[in-house]
Amino acid sequence: MKNLPGKNLLILFLTALIWGTAFVAQAVGMDRIGPFAFNTARSFVGGVTLIPVVLLFGRLKSPEKRQEEPASDRKTLILGGVCCGLALGVASCLQQLGIQYTTVGKAGFITALYIVIVPILGLFFHKKVGVKLWVSVVVAVFGLYLLCMSGSLTLQKGDFLVLLCAVAFSVHIMVIDYFSPKVDGVKMSCIQFFVAGLLSAVAMLAAEGVPALQDLLVSWGPILYAGALSSGVAYTLQIIGQKGVNPTVASLVLSLESVISVLAGWLILQQSMSSREVLGCVLMFGAIVLAQLPERKRNKAKTMG
């Protein structure tokens, strides 16, 4: 394989595209309900959305193939779903909490620091990161800074919570890297949402209480969008797209959500872009291109040999 097939790159980019256009729904959704209630609702919507997909894929399998599935595979699937769900639930709750105490720009920049944390974590799992990939990470971080930051980078309470969120998202990426080649990605994604939903529900009951039904009904649009598309579809695409991909490269592609969110505001909402933001976008895209060069050259060398 096959370090980064074009199909996987496209799937991961589509994931970033969906995430980048979902920030409006997340912000509007919390006008009437708390962050934990919003996370609980979107997680369960994401899980319920995937149930028909899981059932459909299961029916397409022959009875023989269904019976051939060993119990060990089911245990691995459940373990992977639970681990992904815990990491996702913790990351989402920390992010929603942190956003209340910091600016959107700083939250976006600090969250995307998983592009630095992932390769560091990867070293503990013998994931090699070459010089060009490290250069790509540095260029991407600088691009993100230009894109998201307008003030000084001083860590306050909200910033620290979002930084912990970036660590949790990094763990989520590494867990997917480990389990995705071993299990059905759609099933694992479905499990992760119900686990994340339960975790968010515990936080909701402890910090916010049960939200009023009227408030939930008023927020149904953002919840449905964030739950079905941003969660159910995008996180499932992440699991499928990450299969067999270097987690550092995957984190770089996924970080394009910050670029896409700015571009979406420019194209759809007619928000202006400064020359600083344009340079940040260019550096981010340049970092992704640079990250691909080592893999392509290596594959070419193998083909010639």
Pairwise CA distance, residues 260 & 21, whole Å: 7
Q: How confident is the model at residue 84 (pLDDT cuts 50, 70, 90)?
A: very high
Mean pLDDT on 91-104? 79
Mean pLDDT on 35-54? 90
Do residues 99 and 158 touch, judged by C-beta distance below 8 A? yes
Which tokens is 170 given?
Answer: 């990094």
Q: What is the pLDDT of residue 303?
A: 40
Report which of 216, 217, 221 is spatially closest to residue 204, judged by C-alpha positions: 216
Q: What is the pLDDT of residue 304?
A: 38
Question: CA distances (Å), 91 to each of 78, 139, 145, 164, in order?
Answer: 20, 25, 21, 8
pLDDT digits (tens, 9 = 90+) for 125-143: 777 777 777 888 888 888 8
Residues of the chain above pLDDT 70, percent: 79
Query: pTM for the full model?
Result: 0.78
Other C-beta atoms lying within 10 Å of the C-beta of residue 300: 10
pLDDT digits (tens, 9 = 90+) for 174-199: 999 899 888 888 899 999 999 999 99
Q: What is the pLDDT of residue 194?
A: 96
pLDDT reading at 92 higher than 80: yes
Do residues 172 and 82 touch, judged by C-beta distance below 8 A? no
pLDDT digits (tens, 9 = 90+) for 215-267: 888 888 888 888 888 888 888 898 988 887 888 888 888 888 877 777 766 67
Which tokens is 171 given?
Answer: 């763990």
Do residues 100 and 54 touch, judged by C-beta distance below 8 A? no
Question: CA distances (Å), 77 to each of 80, 106, 175, in order?
Answer: 5, 36, 12
Residue by residue, DSSP assigns 173-203 as: HHHHHHHTTTS-HHHHHHHHHHHHHHHHHHH
SS3 243: coil
Mean pLDDT on 159-176? 89
Do residues 11 and 237 touch, judged by C-beta distance below 8 A? yes
